[in-house]
Amino acid sequence: MSILSASLGLTRYRIIEEIPRELLGQIPEKLKQNCFVDIDATADERSFGWTNFDDMLDMNWTQSPPEKAEYFVFKLRLDTRRIPPSVLKKHLTIALNKELEHNKEQGKNFVSRDRKREIKEQVTLRLRARSFPIPAVFDVMWNPSANRVYLDTTNAKVRALFEDYFALTFDLHLEPLTPFFMAMDVLGEEAAPRLESLEPTLFI
């Protein structure tokens, strides 16, 4: 869901460190250095990286720059190949049956555990190569002057991937703006012991 939609799930962050002034001018180049790499012609299971906010197929920012007024905007693109379990089971059974027939010709009535594992890996790779990766994109808005970063998802796995990749790209670490951290942001670090001792109130 786009961050421009009428409603969406949004995760808000602040950056823990002081942002070096020279880093702001390096952001477009760092995005390109860590851009999404297409896996359509491979058998890779997953690929992720940054891409253009205006066009998820533009990994070089030729359509438009990431700078929008005081914001930097871009997308996290995640492509994943998923093989339905029933499809994998079918083709694995076919491959194991062929292997067993071959072994019987050699006087063996079984397929070893290591060989089964090897066949499963081969079948999985073959099926991946025949399937198209499913793309997903997540909008990112970064306002350096307000020290706020917005990600248009609340999915825990995507958030963890985004936080790690943001740190890898910019050498900056994100802190989710949960109510607790937002309260500390307003009241200061010295308020942490008081906030930690608060208990929820039930209005039922």
List, for residues 107-143, the tens digit of each pLDDT value: 888 888 998 999 899 998 888 888 889 999 999 999 9
DSSP characters for 128-162?
HHHSPPEEEEEEEEEETTTTEEEES---HHHHHHH
Domain boundaries, the chain: 11-81+134-196, 85-130
DSSP characters for 75-115?
EEEEEE----HHHHHHHHHHHHHHHHHHHHHTT-----HHH
pLDDT at site 201: 79
Residue 5 has pLDDT above 80, yes or no: no
- pTM for the model: 0.78
List, for residues 145-169, the tens digit of each pLDDT value: 999 999 999 999 999 999 999 999 9
List, for residues 65-113, the tens digit of each pLDDT value: 999 999 999 999 999 998 888 988 998 898 888 888 888 888 888 888 9
Residue 49 has pLDDT above 90, yes or no: yes
Residue 6 has pLDDT above 80, yes or no: no
Q: What number is the average pLDDT over the span 4-26?
A: 88
Is 92 in contact with 69 (CB distance < 8 Å)?
no
Distances (CA, A) of 14 to 67, 113, 184: 19, 50, 12
SS3 at position 9: coil
pLDDT grade for 1, boundaries at 50, 70 and 90 = low
Distances (CA, A) of 91 to 15, 40, 43, 112, 132: 48, 22, 17, 18, 18
* Interatomic CA distance for residues 69 and 43, integer angstroms: 40
Is 48 in contact with 77 (CB distance < 8 Å)?
yes
